[in-house]
Chain A
Amino acid sequence: GAGVSQSPSNKVTEKGKDVELRCDPISGHTALYWYRQRLGQGLEFLIYFQGNSAPDKSGLPSDRFSAERTGESVSTLTIQRTQQEDSAVYLCASSQSGQGRNEQFFGPGTRLTVL
């Protein structure tokens, strides 16, 4: 079946605007993750969903960041009042269960540029 998809692939916004990033996980995957990758750096964990609940939000950098998930399907990551330091690639991953050998399948990412 299809892999993890994300939209939009690129987003340019002005400082202070809100943005919504979307992730469609692999069908049947109960676990969903959001990561952020700043230029030239590794991935930083943001939030983990198991079903539609988020037992680990420890990576969200500030209260401007929030995420939700509908059942075991689509997730949206919302950044309010964007700042230039929010510019990064936002990656979504899904896995079957989130437990054990938890192979995570990544989407292509959304490149966010805040002017």
Chain B
Amino acid sequence: GEDVEQSLFLSVREGDSSVINCTYTDSSSTYLYWYKQEPGAGLQLLTYIFSNMDMKQDQRLTVLLNKKDKHLSLRIADTQTGDSAIYFCADHGSSNTGKLIFGQGTTLQVKP
């Protein structure tokens, strides 16, 4: 079945760039999403990319998509302590119901 994998933990220094990686298995994926989860809070949609795009930039966030390798990444420029959270990659896949397949989440720790 469809699967999404992420590394579990990333630690960076404040001001550095963070790169969070994700791989997925469904070759017919249409949209891929990045969500952010802060302690005690619900999931917040950060950004998304459509499968016919290679890159999308939104302020400090850059999403890169390599469809051939089924690899997605999220780069956060000038990482701040407020960026500390769990980041989830999610795949819309080929489902016509819109259900999302989530990775396990990457915990980003930003050290001052």
Residues of chain A whose beta carbon lies under 8 Å from any beta carbon of chain B: 4, 31, 33, 35, 40-45, 48, 50, 55-56, 59, 91, 93, 95, 97-99, 101-109
Q: Output the nearest chain B residue to A107 by Cβ-Cβ distance.
A: B42
Q: Which one of B4, B43, B99 contacts A48 once the chains associate, using CB atoms below 8 Å?
A: B99
Q: Output the nearest chain A residue to B5 by Cβ-Cβ distance.
A: A42
**Interchain pairs with CB closer than 8 A, number:** 64
Which of B40, B100, B103, B104 is the most central at the interface, judged by chain A CB atoms within 10 Å of its CB?
B100
B102 x A42 contact (CB < 8 A): yes
Which of B95, B99, B100, B104 is the most central at the interface, judged by chain A CB atoms within 10 Å of its CB?
B99
A109 x B31 contact (CB < 8 A): no
B42 x A106 contact (CB < 8 A): yes
Q: Taking A91-B42, A101-B48, A103-B48 as contacts, is the C-beta distance between A43 and B96 under 8 angstroms?
A: no
Give the distance in Å from the alpha carbon of A23 to the alpha carbon of B66 in the complex: 36
B100 x A106 contact (CB < 8 A): no
Give the distance in Å from the alpha carbon of A45 to the alpha carbon of B93 in the complex: 13
Q: Output the nearest chain B residue to A92 by Cβ-Cβ distance.
A: B42
